[in-house]
Structure 1
Amino acid sequence: MTTRVLVPSSLAREAEDKREATRKLGYVARAATIFRADRLIVFPDREGETGKLDGGFVRTVLRYATTPPHLRKEIWGKRDELEYVGVLPPLRAPSQTGSESDDSGSKRHGIVTEVGPDQRVRVNCGLQHPISLNVPSEMALEQGERVTVRISSRRPVRAKIVGKPTQGLSIEQTDLSAALSREDAGVRIAASRFGEALTVGKLETLAGRIERDGLTVAFGAPERGLPAILGIDADTVRTDGVARLDAADDTDVEPNGDPGFDLWLNTVPNQGSDVVRTEEALFATLASLTLRA
């Protein structure tokens, strides 16, 4: 099952400062990682962006968060957007870390820092210094490419390149309508407090289709939900924005201005707080919608 999460470029609009915004984005990345999302896509909401906490900041911090920790300095260096990345929660995804063990035979992700003669490259894989390794005959590597390294001994260092890293959560940028119009978008859901309340019965209807076709779910920004971003009246969503995704009726019923959702869904129908933050909505929504039928 493929899962794509769509968030607006205005995601950090309510943060008081860059530190708070960075922490918020870290938990967005963590929610997407925990529930095995394949892509975290940032779509433009320029009207909702504020100051320096714009789409560029959002994308940079998210991409940094999904970079293996031991490669971050090599890839990113020092950037103004990354001033407070020390507050980011660790993702601990296998696509970041390789194998969990540091024992003999463990795998590490590395980045090629130099290409030399005779099929040899230097690789930074989180050891004290980059190490020189042979390139497997079936591979061709360039500077900056990522590889998986198997370490059989640390003292002395013995290691070899065994392939390319498994693809984990990727951070992308595209228009909302383009993301929803992909052939492999699967079930396209707008998470909104104005949508149909999620119930056990509705989840039973959805689960089979999501498992079969995949899931694309979009979220709004603080104090600026999807209706506001799309210029849709909330009352229109309530009356016209609910599609019936059951075996008898797969027809989309879209409010005016909807870029192509199958369903507007309220995944926290009994919220006890006046405000559910976007990162909180991600956890609540993905925990329900990624359940298997």
Structure 2
Amino acid sequence: MTVSVLVPSSLTREAEDKREATRKLGYVARAATVFRADRLLVYPDRGGETGRFDGGFVHTVLRYAATPPYLRNEVWGMRDELEYVGVLPPLRAASQTGSESNGSGSTRQGIVTEVGPDQRVRVNCGLQHPISLNVPSQMKVVEGERVTVRISSRRPVRAKLEDSPLPGLVVERTDLSTALGREDAGVCIAASRFGEELTVGRLETLAGRIERDGLTVAFGAPERGLPDIFGIEASTVSSSDEGTTDDGVEPTADPGFDLWLNTVPDQGSEVIRTEEALFASLAPLSLRE
């Protein structure tokens, strides 16, 4: 099952300064990590960007946050967008924690620091020193490339390179149609206070399909919800119960989504921040039958 989270490039439009914008993005990355999202995708909202912290800033800070701490200096160096990354909350992603067992171990990211002869490379993967590893015959790596390392033991060190996607949260920029059109997009949900209210019964019908097909859920920006971003009337996004299918997914005004969902019915605050909406939405949608 693949879980993708979509946030707009205008995500930090209300931030007063770079420190506040960076902190907000840190909580977005943390929410995606807590609920084991596979992808955090930044879609364009040019009309909502203020110019100070555009999509490039949002994408860069989120990618930095998703980079394991032991690789950050080597991967990113010094960049203007990263001036206040010290305020980012630690993600402590489970997939980035090495195993002390002698079993199959766990995977973590590494970066190739040196390519040597005889299909061997040195890799920094967060251990005390870079380690020398054999490169599988089907792999070709270059210096500076990020790779997947499986560590089965740290004392003594036993590890190997794997020809597989990097573990942890993947951050990308993409347009909405591409994200919703992926083969593994699964149930595509627009999180909005104008959507159908999430109930126990609706969650029960959704859970089975999400577990089977995966989930893609999109969020809006401060003072700019999804209807505003997509240029549609809020009154048209909610379907009637007559259109509900057996798996709880309903046709909507926007053909890109399977349904619009209000995950905080009867909200007590007039405004729910995007980072709060991520926690409020991903928590129930992560429940399984």
1:147-226 matched pairs, under 5 angstroms: 147-148=148-149, 150=151, 160-163=159-162, 167-226=167-226
Q: Aligned equivalents of 1:42 and 1:261: distance in 2? A: 17
CA distance in 2, matches of 1:24, 1:242: 36
Q: Which moved more, 1:264-273 or 1:144-153?
A: 144-153
Q: What's the secondary structure of 2:51's corresponding residue?
A: coil
Contact 2:60 2:81 in 1 (8 A): yes
**Corresponding residue number in structure 1 for 2:90:** 90
Per-residue CA deviations over 1:48-94 (Å, capped at 9, x if unaligned) read 01123110011111111111110011111111111111111111113
SS in structure 1 at match of 2:267: coil
Using the size of structure 1 for normalisation, the TM-score is: 0.86
Cα deviation per residue 1:142-177 (whole Å; 9 max; x = unaligned)?
2123242648667xx856434357532211111112
1:211 shift after superposition: 1.6
Take 1:248 and 1:172, find their aligned partners in 2: how far apart are those partners? 30
Q: Which amino acid aligns with 2:68?
A: P
TM-score for the superposition, normalised by structure 2: 0.87
- Judge conservation of contact 2:133–2:161 (CA < 8 Å) in 1: no
Q: Which amino acid aligns with 1:283?
A: F
**What aligned pairs does 1:1-293 form with structure 2 within 5 A after superposition?**
1-99=1-99, 109-127=109-127, 129-135=129-135, 139-143=139-143, 144-148=145-149, 150=151, 160-163=159-162, 167-238=167-238, 240=239, 244-247=243-246, 252-254=251-253, 258-293=254-289
Give the stretch that moved more between structures: 71-80 or 194-203: 194-203
Given that 1:98 and 1:109 are in contact with CA atoms closer than 8 Å, whether structure 2 keeps it comes out as no
Q: What SS does the aligned partner of 2:190 have? A: strand
- C-alpha separation in 1, matches of 2:78 and 2:62: 15
Q: 172-181 or 283-292: which moved more?
A: 172-181
- Structure 2 residues without counterparts, runs of 5 or longer: none
Contact kept? 1:242, 1:263, Cα under 8 Å: no
What is the number of equivalent residue pairs in this alignment? Answer: 285
Contact 2:250 2:259 in 1 (8 A): no
Q: Which consecutive residues of structure 1, in runs of 5 or more, have no partner in the other structure? A: none
For the structure 1 residues 78 and 250, does the alpha-carbon distance in structure 2 shift closer, same or farther, using more than 3 Å as the test? closer
Identity of aligned residues (%): 71
Q: 1:123 to 1:197 in 2, by over 3 A?
A: same
C-alpha deviation, 1:236, in angstroms: 2.3
Moved more, 263-272 or 165-174: 165-174
Residues in 2 aligned to 1:288 and 1:23: alpha-carbon distance in whole angstroms: 24
Classify 1:2/1:109 alpha carbon distance in 2 versus 1 (closer, same or farther; 3 Å).
closer
| RMSD after superposition | 2.8
Conserved? CA contact 2:123–2:130, under 8 Å: yes
Task: Work out whether residues 176 and 259 of structure 1, in 8 Å CA contact, stay in contact via their aligned partners in 2.
Answer: no
Q: Which segment drifts farther, 271-280 or 122-131?
A: 122-131
Asked if the contact 2:188–2:217 (Cα under 8 Å) also holds between the matched residues in 1, the reply is yes
